Homo-oligomer: A and B are copies of this chain.
Amino acid sequence: MARGKNQNQRSRSYDSDDHERGACEWCEYALVITLATVLLIGVSALTIFWVFYYRGGYAWADDTPDKQFNLHPTLMVAGFVTFCGFSVLLYRICRCFRRIYVKLLHAIFHALAFPCIVIGFLAVLDYHNKKGINNFYSLHSWIGFVAMGLFGLQYAVGFFSFLLLLICNKGTAGFRASLVPIHAAFGILTFVLGVAACLTGLTEKAIFALGADRYSGLVDEGIIINAIGVSMVAILGVVMYILSREKFRPAEARERLTRTSVDL
């Protein structure tokens, strides 16, 4: 389809054009980006604060398995929430660079999440083995396992698609476009499952570390753990809001939406 035809179609399909953004829309755009950035960095910062202030910091040695465990929540929150969150949002709302650079940044943020998730997983596996605790018995571990599997699969599909783009852009355009809605839907699912794994993990940790009596007594540490969870809920809210705002999407991606009916 010729570009002129698309341009014409787009200007009929959308109320305002890219060049005619109002001050109000820019304010909303800036506000949402700021809120998302504060929450995504804040949730990792709060987790690190919790570990240092209440859980004795980090280590990886045979005589301090509890400090080794602390790497697990920190790295999983950084990987599944902070880095994956930035990667998803960046892909959806970044208008500053050409599309190819946005895809590259999307891959880089996921590449940063990858070692966090792997080391975070190894930390808890080794902790369980040192303490003689069974692996994969809890709902948290089952959800985490599914989330990690989906993350790996999505990364492989994304990497393969990006490689195809570099090798043969035009010839693979149709195939890559058909992958987009599936990749996007399962990407959001992976993110939601990553958050669900973190929330169930925080619940487990709060009960194991504080005990039912202290946790129900609303001690400071319990409130901090709950605050980490609520920050993730707020992140889910901001992400859903951004996905619902068609106008936040870069113009090029919106054109593709009109052509191929890509939804998420």
Contacts and interface: CB of A to CB of B under 8 A. Distances in A.
Number of copies: 2
Interface in A123-139: 133-134, 137-139
Interface stretch (A19-27, A76-84, A108-116, A241-249): A241-249
A258 B259 CA distance: 11
Contact of A203 (B13, B139, B215, B259): B139
A230 B129 CA distance: 25
A202 interface: yes
A193 B244 contact: no
A259 B13 contact: yes
A146 interface: yes
Contacts of A185: 240-241, 243-244
Contacts of A226: 138-139, 142
A89 interface: no
A132 to B, nearest CB: 10
A45 interface: no
A25 B233 CA distance: 36
Nearest to A188: B240
Interface magnitude class on chain A: 35 or more
Contacts of A12: 9
Interface stretch (A29-37, A97-105, A162-170, A205-213): A205-213
Interface stretch (A52-60, A62-70, A153-161, A217-225): A217-225
A196 interface: yes
Given A133-B216, A230-B142, A184 B244 contact: yes
A229 interface: yes
A212 B261 CA distance: 49
Interface of A: 9, 12-15, 133-134, 137-140, 142-143, 146, 181-182, 184-186, 188-189, 192-193, 195-196, 199-200, 202-204, 206-208, 212, 215-218, 222, 225-226, 229-230, 233, 236-237, 240-241, 243-247, 254, 258-264
25 contacts: A13-B261, A14-B261, A15-B260, A134-B216, A137-B215, A137-B216, A137-B222, A138-B215, A139-B203, A139-B225, A140-B203, A143-B233, A182-B244, A185-B240, A186-B237, A192-B192, A192-B240, A195-B196, A196-B199, A200-B200, A207-B207, A243-B263, A243-B264, A244-B264, A247-B261
